[in-house]
């Protein structure tokens, strides 16, 4: 449970606001029932095995039709576990479509609670049976989703996960996530890479019997961080590489609340795309930071021969993290994977100096809004709210006119950074209070610094309808740190 004494929790000075308190210590969904608790943790049995790719389901003739069944019982870290998966795997299959395609998904719920499906980052309609976060698929039921990918959709790295309010953190922590790739419209690859890999990072905590551990109130308050950090469901896999031969790694942060600051020992990471869209030019960096939900595509140019760990370094999310001793359960650094280079050097074609970045369709700003993420002590526990209110799916929090470009300033008066995420309409970060340089291309998650703010430009183009924005620390989203936006023509 929590190592933090109550007095320290109470000592956190946070602004009060009008919302009713939300008790977050409610019964965890992953109660282990009458089973005997061993008290121990599952020890990974596959450390160092070669990185596998999830099964790829590829579109053909403009369509991809798949069935995804959410159920308990998957192989993780070399064990048969009671964690959750799609089609008995975690991550689920990689869905690969092209601009202009139709993606039809029959989602079958074999969990014992409701679920649904969200195509994170995809620019598709939020209405009806498309990327509609208000839908609910009950246990035993199936639902037919249809996502129409627009012909001008950027080619890049996206992902899918459940989004039934109140159960999102538990289900993703349980293992429900998969990659969703939009391939380039033509046949030619965008980059001269010899290997193109998905690295879907998730974290979870499993007991010695392979059951999901119970999550305490403090873990929910800080955002749960699993003790087991996995890449494609594997523990510290090995990534083989030929010296000189470039690889594209599509890193997806599928963790419920863990921020990943990744570094590859002895190598630069060449950042080429963020949240599914290319940067204007490759940026060689020592570290690339991914908030929960973010994707970063990086090019790796292996040099020499040897073993080079890919490390997620410890990240300080603000004063509250420090007070809690670096966050809950385990924080960094953790080894995600190890690149092993061997063999004769290969000569790879040089990287392009310019990338097919999109020019964001940003018109003159018509409306400015200020939106506040709020976390504080309430009467019955911690409160998680936006602008003083917890999530209500029936309330319209922001009314927007289709076609307008708006400027939103997201404020965070509290001592913990929160990742802001908006569905359907990607935004461009204009400025951050901590002077982090913005990536300059449309993105869909940005970390709002503790006691700080971010300013965003959002073109509300292409789709009308209602959707949501929220904190992508999914425990916070489940507790109410989510709100609605209604875009009307």
Q: Does 123 sit near ligand C2O (CB under 6 A)?
A: no
Residues in binding contact with Cu ion, number by CB under 5 A: 6
- 423, 455, 466, 476: residue in contact with ligand C2O (rule CB under 6 A): 423
Shortest CA distance to 156 belongs to which of 457, 352, 442?
A: 442
476 binds ligand C2O (CB under 6 A): no
Shortest CB 132 distance to ligand C2O, Å = 12
Of 390, 409, 380, 406, the residue nearest 468 (C-alpha)? 390
220 binds, among Cu ion, ligand C2O, none (CB under 5 to 8 A by kind): none
Q: Pairing mode, if any, of strands 247-253 and 269-274?
A: unpaired
- DSSP H helical ranges for 313-358: 319-323
Burial letters for 138-174: b for 16+ Cβ neighbours within 10 Å, e otherwise? eeeeebebebebeeebbbbbbbbbbbbbebbbbbbbb
If the CB atoms of residues 190 and 297 are measured against ligand C2O, the closer one turns out to be 297
397's tokens: 């929090």
Q: Which does 163 bind (CB under 5 to 8 A by kind): ligand C2O, Cu ion, none?
A: ligand C2O
CA distance 46 to 173: 20
Asked whether position 470 contacts ligand C2O by CB under 6 A, the answer is yes
Q: Is 120 in the site for Cu ion (CB under 5 A)?
A: yes
Task: Name the binder of 473 from Cu ion, ligand C2O, none, CB < 5-8 A by kind.
Answer: Cu ion
Closer of 123 and 163 to ligand C2O (Cβ): 163
DSSP conformation class of 241: E
The answer to whether the Cα torsion of 169, 172, 173, 174 is positive or negative is positive
Does 473 participate in binding Cu ion (rule CB under 5 A)?
A: yes
Q: Does 426 help bind ligand C2O (rule: CB under 6 A)?
A: no
By the rule CB under 6 A, 421 interacts with ligand C2O: yes
Residues 155-184 that bind ligand C2O (CB under 6 A): 161, 163
Least CB distance to Cu ion at residue 45 (A): 33
Is residue 118 within the footprint of ligand C2O (CB under 6 A)?
Answer: yes
Let me know: does 371 contact 386? Beta carbons within 8 Å.
Answer: yes
Tally of CB atoms within 10 A around 1 = 8
Q: Where are the beta strands (DSSP E) in 302-435?
A: 306-313, 334-341, 365-377, 382-386, 398-401, 405-412, 418-422, 428-432
Question: What does the per-residue mask of binding to Cu ion show for 389-428, with x meaning CB under 5 A?
Answer: -----------------------------x----x-----
Burial of 246 (0-12, 13-18, 19+ CB in 10 A): buried
Is residue 293 part of the contact set for ligand C2O (CB under 6 A)? yes
| Residue nearest ligand C2O (C-beta atom) | 120
Partner from Cu ion, ligand C2O, none binding residue 471, C-beta < 5-8 Å depending on class: Cu ion
Task: Quote the least distance from Cβ 480 to ligand C2O, whole Å.
Answer: 14
Kindly give the pairing relationship between strand 118-120 and strand 156-161.
Answer: antiparallel
156 binds, among ligand C2O, Cu ion, none (CB under 5 to 8 A by kind): none
Binding site for ligand C2O (CB under 6 A): 118, 120, 161, 163, 293, 421, 423, 470, 472
């Amino acid at each position: 449970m929590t190592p933090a004494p109550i007095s320290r929790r109470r000592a956190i000075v946070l602004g009060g606001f009008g919302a009713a308190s939300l008790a977050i210590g409610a019964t965890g969904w992953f109660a282990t029932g009458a089973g005997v608790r061993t008290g121990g943790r599952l020890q990974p049995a596959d450390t160092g095995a070669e990185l596998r790719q999830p099964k790829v389901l590829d579109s053909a003739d403009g369509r991809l039709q798949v069935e995804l069944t959410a159920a308990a019982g998957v192989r993780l870290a070399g064990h048969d576990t009671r964690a959750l998966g799609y089609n008995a795997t975690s991550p689920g299959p990689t869905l690969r479509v092209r601009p202009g395609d139709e993606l039809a998904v029959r989602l079958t719920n074999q969990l014992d609670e409701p679920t649904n499906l969200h195509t994170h980052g995809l620019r598709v309609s939020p209405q009806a049976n498309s990327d509609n976060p208000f839908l609910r698929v009950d246990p035993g039921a199936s639902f037919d989703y249809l996502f129409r990918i627009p012909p001008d959709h950027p080619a890049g790295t996206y992902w899918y996960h459940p989004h039934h309010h109140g159960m999102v953190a538990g289900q993703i922590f349980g293992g429900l996530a998969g990659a969703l790739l939009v391939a380039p419209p033509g046949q030619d690859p965008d980059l001269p890479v010899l290997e193109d890999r998905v690295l879907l990072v998730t974290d979870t905590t499993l007991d010695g019997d392979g059951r999901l551990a119970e999550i305490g109130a403090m873990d929910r308050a800080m955002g749960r961080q699993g003790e087991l950090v996995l890449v494609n469901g594997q523990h510290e896999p090995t990534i083989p590489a030929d010296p000189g031969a470039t690889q594209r790694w599509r890193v997806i942060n599928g963790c419920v609340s863990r921020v990943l600051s990744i570094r590859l020992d002895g190598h630069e990471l060449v950042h080429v795309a963020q949240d599914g869209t290319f940067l204007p030019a490759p940026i060689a960096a020592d570290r690339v930071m991914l908030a929960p939900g973010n994707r970063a595509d990086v090019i790796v140019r292996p040099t020499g021969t040897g073993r080079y760990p890919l490390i997620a370094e410890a990240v300080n999310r603000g004063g509250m993290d420090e007070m809690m001793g670096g966050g809950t359960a385990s924080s960094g650094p953790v080894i995600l994977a190890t690149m092993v280079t061997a063999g004769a050097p290969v000569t790879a074609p040089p990287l392009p100096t310019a990338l097919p970045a999109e020019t964001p369709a940003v018109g003159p700003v018509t409306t400015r809004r200020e939106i506040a993420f709020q976390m504080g002590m309430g009467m019955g526990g911690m409160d998680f709210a936006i602008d003083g209110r917890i999530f209500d799916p029936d309330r319209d929090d922001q009314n927007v006119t289709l076609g307008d470009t708006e400027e939103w300033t997201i404020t965070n008066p509290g001592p913990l950074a929160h990742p802001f995420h908006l569905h359907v309409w990607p935004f461009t970060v204009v400025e951050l209070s901590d002077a982090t340089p913005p990536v300059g291309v449309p993105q869909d998650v940005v970390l709002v610094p503790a006691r700080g703010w971010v300013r965003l430009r959002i073109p509300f183009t292409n789709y009308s309808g209602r959707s949501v924005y929220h904190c992508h620390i999914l425990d916070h989203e489940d507790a109410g740190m989510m709100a609605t936006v209604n875009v009307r023509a």
